[in-house]
Amino acid sequence: MSRIFITGSSEGLGLMTGRLLSEQGHKVVLHARNTARAQDAGHALSGADVVVGDVSTIVGARNVAEQANAHGRFDAVIHNVAIGYREPRRIETGDQLPQVFATNVLAPYILTALMMRPERLIYLSSGLHRSATAQLKDAFWRKRSWDGTKAYSETKLYDTMLAFAIARRWPDVFSNALEPGWVPTKMGGADAPDDIYQAHLTQVWLAAGDDARVTGQYFYHRQRLAPNPQAEDTDLQDRLISVCEKSTQLALPK
């Protein structure tokens, strides 16, 4: 039995992933943004503990990491939490950062840096990351005109870069990224064409599969897939880590 923490898991793919892992006999801890969502998650997956906190702020993400650590070391952490591509304008958090970057990139960075190091780390990306170009000189969209789809796509590129950076820096951890497909969730929309019943299986496999002990790879439906080449650029990876460190005042452990 593995112990697995899943961010953004009060509904959607995160909850589906937690439910299947629980059915397989693993101990799952879910995460919800607020108490109401936590109650919903607790009802949806009876017996699961739920960590509560808004990871769109640095303080909130730190608090979630602290709560997660109170449960002890996890065997796997699935970074599922995300804001989608439909934001019509640049919405700032209390840290004066774009909400989509804070939630999609800084939250997994903070949790990675502060949580007790697991054996496996899984970062959710998107097929849209292939259309993105790293814009680390303006990662926070302070100079560019806002484009919600581009902003989201860039964060998913950065999530893939983060997964690969961790794989390179922490050789004792299996760190990978995946795309679940464009599926009809609240984020994906009702017209999304991919199979939702396949969308959570790769996360489950990477978190607990005996034959999933690989690192620095990108997957779609349990098959290796070539990512955006920029994701494998080690200089860009290091620059992203630097942006995250400066934004959070939190260094990634050696």
Does residue 123 have an active-site annotation?
A: no
Q: Locate tokens 């990662």: which residue?
A: 139
Q: What is the DSSP code string of 25-60?
A: T-EEEEEESSHHHHHHHHHHSTT-EEEE--TTSHHH
pLDDT given for residue 188 in this prediction = 61
In this structure, which amino acid lies at residue 93?
T
CB–CB of 4/28 below 8 Å?
A: yes
Let me know if residue 254 belongs to a domain.
no
Confidence at residue 81, expressed as pLDDT on a 0 to 100 scale: 97
Q: What is the DSSP letter of 2?
A: -
Q: What is the pLDDT of residue 193?
A: 60
pLDDT of 62 higher than 70? yes
CB 159 within 8 A of CB 123: yes
- The average pLDDT across 32-46 equals 94
Per DSSP, what are the bridge partners of residue 51? 31
Which tokens is 145 given? 């005109």
Mean pLDDT of all residues belonging to the chain: 95
**Rounded mean pLDDT, 166-183:** 93
CA distance 156 to 225: 15
Length of the chain: 254
Locate 203 and state its tokens. 């996360």
Active site residue 85: no
- Reduced to 3 states (helix: H, G, I; strand: E, B; else coil), residue 104 is helix
> Rounded distance, CA 203 to CA 27, Å?
15
User: How many structural domains is the chain composed of?
Assistant: 1
Looking at residue 187, what is its pLDDT? 65
Nearest of 17, 128, 22, 138 to residue 80 by alpha carbon: 17
Q: How many CB atoms lie within 10 A of CB 170?
A: 17
Catalytic residue among 109, 150, 156, 158: 156
Strands (E), the chain: 3-6, 27-32, 49-52, 76-79, 120-124, 174-179, 218-220, 223-224
128 neighbors 149 (Cβ within 8 angstroms)? yes
Range of the domain at 203: 3-248
The pLDDT of residue 134: 98
- Is the residue at 170 inside a domain? yes
Q: For 80-114, write each residue's pLDDT tens digit.
A: 999 988 889 999 999 999 999 999 999 999 999 99
The reported pLDDT for the residue numbered 197 is 80
CA–CA dist 130, 210 (Å, integer): 29
Determine what percent of the chain is predicted with pLDDT higher than 90: 89
pLDDT at 254: 85
Residue whose pair of structure tokens reads 């903070």 in the numeric block: 110
Q: Structure pTM?
A: 0.96
Residue 19, pLDDT above cutoff 90: yes
Q: Give the CATH number, domain containing residue 7.
A: 3.40.50.720
Q: Which of 109, 123, 152, 158 is catalytic?
A: 152
What's the rounded mean pLDDT across residues 66-79? 98
pLDDT band at 156 (very low <50, low <70, confident <90, very high): very high
In a domain, 253, yes or no: no
Give 184-238 pLDDT, tens digit per residue. Answer: 566 666 666 666 788 999 999 999 999 999 999 999 999 999 999 999 999 999 9
Considering the domain boundaries, does residue 162 fall inside one?
yes
How confident is the model at residue 181, as a pLDDT?
Answer: 78
Two tokens, residue 186: 């609240």
> 223-224 and 218-220: which strand pairing?
antiparallel
